[in-house]
Amino acid sequence: MTAYNRILLKLSGEALMGDDAFGINHDVITRTVQEIGDVTALGCQVAVVIGGGNIFRGVAGGSKGMDRATADYMGMLATVMNALALADCMRVNGITARVMSAISIDQVVEPYVRPKALQYLEEGKVVVFGAGTGNPFFTTDTAAALRGAEVGAQVVLKATKVDGIYTADPKKDPQARRYDTITFDEAMSRNLQVMDATAFALCRDQNLPIRVFSILKPGALRRVVMGEAEGTLVTQH
């Protein structure tokens, strides 16, 4: 029996790059999809919010000096590209997925409509949310918190390249210590930037816990869904 019946999985675009400079690494996205398939097979309903940093990174040099709102809309389109790639990889692996976009691209994906998203989840389909919140100046972390609250997820799972939240950057500080648990207020006051403050505040206000873990660690997603201690848990208390 799983610890969670419905989860919101936040995938960073960078996590899909593997060792590549930008773009989508085929082996990484396939392994990620197989991990998602493992937990759906357990009966867990999965919604996904995906970032676009891996795609947008390829054009980031040309965006210098660009209007912030314009750059953010470009980033939203990058998340839709990732969402389509993820859903197609799921199709290849026998998983039924639906992509829903917060901005209107009707010829490509269907628009985000909350009752429809809930219906898909209840039918056992994986729902992939693209285009963030649909608004500039808001990150896909905030979109994950928002969509998680809207669809009634029991937890937001932040899947990154790092296996939790640390006291400092573990790549720069070998003495950095990983937190097993931490409160939202502590995470914000210590400026632990694994998620932005808006996302932390929204999850705190909605009493929606966050668990940060490494998607590159085999079986980590399944262990989280089964309620095992993996990564760092962020809660109210």
For residue 59, is pLDDT > 70?
no
Looking at CATH, the fold of the domain delimited by 6-235 is given as: Carbamate kinase (3.40.1160)
pLDDT at 62: 56
Q: Which amino acid is at 12?
A: S
Q: Could you tell me the residue ranges of all domains in the chain? A: 6-235
Q: Which amino acid is at 228?
A: E
- Model confidence over 134-175: pLDDT tens digits? 999 999 999 999 999 999 999 999 998 889 999 888 888 888
* Dist. CA 17–CA 64, nearest whole Å: 22
pTM of the model: 0.94
- Residue 219's nearest CA partner among 16, 1, 48, 36 is 36
Mean per-residue pLDDT of the chain: 91
